[in-house]
Structure 1
Amino acid sequence: MASRTILSTGNVMTAGAGVIRKPTLEKSNTELVNSLRENFRAASSFTLPLGASPTTAAKNNPAARLAPAEWTKLGSDRVLYVPMEGGEPHGLSEEREEYDVTVKLFYLPGIPSSSRCTHTKEAVHLVCKELGISSIDLLIVSFPNISFDAEDEDISSEEDVNEWVRTYRTLEGLHSAKKVSKIGLAEFGATRLSQLLPHTNVKPSVDQINVRDCCVVPKPLILYAKERNIELLTHNDCTDILPVDTLKQLVVDEFGLFGTDAKLAPQWVVKYTAVIRSRGVVENKGYIAMAEVH
């Protein structure tokens, strides 16, 4: 059995309106789950051989779905790729300099912070491979169990700050290696920023916050960000973007991978977008997730 699995959606912009989330109507992980399901369904669908009759096909494959071994791939590193890479070319249609590529990496709850260095490098590598590029323009990281609150001025513990700093060192390393041009954070108010920034060498360029509940960006954060040339962006993603039960229902119950007694532990999720600068058009958008399998 695989010890880990990599799950990917491919380009959700080609999947149609049924997959792409309606921000005001649906939960913030609906797009991830729907697009994974659609990509798995497309990869596992039974295609009639040329000249074969539907009756013969139904007899040979009553479920009209390929066996998992035919649409997934177990690598030599015991990582199961779901689905396996297709024959269609990857990458962007125009020259690299025509795009702004943004990646948001979600560190999931319950995963040791000591794993983040490996997870970050792995996620960036897989996105670059998927898009056929060597670097990304902006990497935003989302820490678990942090939510933005306009009135929350509590100072985080020294242990939390030390974990952020250790993770941030990895981001700075990717910046030095020219794999990442700009670094971003998610859910950091003025207090959290003031605790982290003194320990950084490369200052964050972006702070992405969720204002769904408070609606207004607090003035202290606006002033703090302006003084330090940090761009404030908003979002409505959830931090626990891939709960264990959601993953098990999708992968095990719906698509029959691994077996009913398998235990899956989601490790990270990454969302990426490639926008054509001159037109402001999203050409490629997708998700990749990694989970351990026990």
Structure 2
Amino acid sequence: MKLILSTSNIMSGGPSVIRRHTFEKSNTELTSSLRANFTAHRSSPPTPTTNGDTAATRPQPPFKSWTTQQENTLWIPTHTPSPLSEPRESYDITVKLFYLPNVPADTRCVQTREAIDLVLKELGTSSIDLLIVSFPGISFDADDDEESDLDDPPSAPNSLADDGDADGAPEDMDTIVTTWHTLEKLHEEGLVSKLGISEFGCSRLEKFLPRTTVKPSVDQINVRDCCVVPKPLILYAKQQKIELLTHNDCTNVLPRGTLRDILGSGEKGMGVLAREKDEGERLQGEVQPQWVVKYTAVVKDRGVVESKGYFAVAELRE
């Protein structure tokens, strides 16, 4: 069974001015927003007593009452798209697709289109301005003036490791290129105006660019030391006409065990997944995360974020 988890629009409390935006790490923002959305959908109203007082809240309803199953796909929670309120040309729409470890390249190509289709339907639009992809196991270290070599194992844990920044070996170049060809097709079809990559330094760019038809317009890197970008990368990106952007995302946006913790039957779980075989109608099996996508729609002339959210997709296998 496929599980589609959504945060809905996390800006629903009102648009946020970009300059005031809080830079919460993406894995923290994702998990906290999922929990908040699930809780909002499954919460029961207080039960009034005969004398008009409010009694204790009723037990939480079963997951089937606040989720929707369509054939072999379960939406958690039941989801309704939130189309943009103004004409398409009023927005800059950026999508970042996080590929997760241990997903074959051919499967990933199908998943890429699925992710884009979800976002387009969510926002009620036919195209996005910028699609950035993040490959598993690749991280940028400004201290080293370059990311680790492609064939080397991941570096020793650093101060961000507890946030899920490192998980698995770096993606190999053949898989990256195969995946990129799918993105090029989306560009050719007009679904995506510009393509971008994440955490690529000079060495990786030099190996990657000759194998592309549509070059990335953006290289988004996580700079941890006061936004100090290595000079060689600045010069090379300028030569290749690639815009360098910084970000606050994790390399591994969905660490192992996160979804089971959120959906499980524990104290902080949502009661979707069973711990034991006799837990009623709760689902049983192993949760295998597939990908995560983040979308942001900014109103150009006002510089505010009208819509922002995440989708996370996993497979539940017995």
Structure with a larger share of its residues in helix: 1
State the partner residue of 1:258: 273
Pair 1:114 & 2:106 matched: yes
1:163-178 to 2 correspondences below 5 Å? 163-178=175-190
Deviation at 1:280, TM superposition (A): 1.1
For residues 305 and 133 of structure 2, the distance between their equivalents in structure 1, rounded to whole angstroms, comes to 21
Deviation at 1:12, TM superposition (A): 0.5
1:124-149 per-residue CA deviation (whole Å, 9 max, x = no partner) reads 00011111111111000000000002
Deviation at 1:15, TM superposition (A): 4.8
Deviation at 1:259, TM superposition (A): 1.4
For residues 11 and 212 of structure 2, the distance between their equivalents in structure 1, rounded to whole angstroms, comes to 36
State the partner residue of 1:239: 251
State the partner residue of 1:248: 260
1:272-287 to 2 correspondences below 5 Å? 272-287=295-310
Aligned Cα root-mean-square deviation (Å) = 2.6
Unpaired stretches in structure 1, ≥5 consecutive residues: none
In structure 2, which of residues 73, 84, 109 is the aligned counterpart of residue 79 of structure 1? 73
1:4–1:292 CA contact under 8 A, matched in 2: yes
For residues 73 and 206 of structure 2, the distance between their equivalents in structure 1, rounded to whole angstroms, comes to 40
In structure 2, which of residues 134, 139, 143 is the aligned counterpart of residue 147 of structure 1? 139
Closer/same/farther in 2, CA of residues 62 and 191 from structure 1, 3 Å limit? same
State the partner residue of 1:156: 150
Closer/same/farther in 2, CA of residues 40 and 66 from structure 1, 3 Å limit? same
For residues 11 and 213 of structure 2, the distance between their equivalents in structure 1, rounded to whole angstroms, comes to 36
TM-score w.r.t. length of structure 2: 0.81
Closer/same/farther in 2, CA of residues 70 and 144 from structure 1, 3 Å limit? same
For residues 246 and 220 of structure 1, the distance between their equivalents in structure 2, rounded to whole angstroms, comes to 37
1:265–1:291 CA contact under 8 A, matched in 2: yes
Question: Secondary structure of 1:289's partner?
Answer: strand
Deviation at 1:265, TM superposition (A): 1.1
TM-score w.r.t. length of structure 1: 0.88
State the partner residue of 1:45: 43
Question: Secondary structure of 2:237's partner?
Answer: helix
Structure 1 segments of 4 or more deviating over 6 A?
58-61
For residues 251 and 180 of structure 2, the distance between their equivalents in structure 1, rounded to whole angstroms, comes to 18
Deviation at 1:155, TM superposition (A): 4.7
2:8–2:79 CA contact under 8 A, matched in 1: no
Closer/same/farther in 2, CA of residues 42 and 153 from structure 1, 3 Å limit? closer
Closer/same/farther in 2, CA of residues 154 and 53 from structure 1, 3 Å limit? closer
2:287–2:314 CA contact under 8 A, matched in 1: yes
1:199-238 to 2 correspondences below 5 Å? 199-213=211-225, 215-238=227-250
Deviation at 1:189, TM superposition (A): 0.5
Equivalenced residues, count: 280
Closer/same/farther in 2, CA of residues 59 and 69 from structure 1, 3 Å limit? farther
Closer/same/farther in 2, CA of residues 285 and 192 from structure 1, 3 Å limit? same
Q: Which one-letter code corresponds to 1:92 in the other structure?
A: L
2:94–2:297 CA contact under 8 A, matched in 1: yes
Closer/same/farther in 2, CA of residues 54 and 145 from structure 1, 3 Å limit? farther
State the partner residue of 1:194: 206
Q: Which one-letter code corresponds to 2:63 in the other structure?
A: P
For residues 147 and 254 of structure 2, the distance between their equivalents in structure 1, rounded to whole angstroms, comes to 28
1:12–1:285 CA contact under 8 A, matched in 2: yes
For residues 101 and 32 of structure 1, the distance between their equivalents in structure 2, rounded to whole angstroms, comes to 19
1:80-139 per-residue CA deviation (whole Å, 9 max, x = no partner) reads 0001124xx620010011001000000012222332101111110001111111111100
Closer/same/farther in 2, CA of residues 59 and 155 from structure 1, 3 Å limit? closer
State the partner residue of 2:11: 13
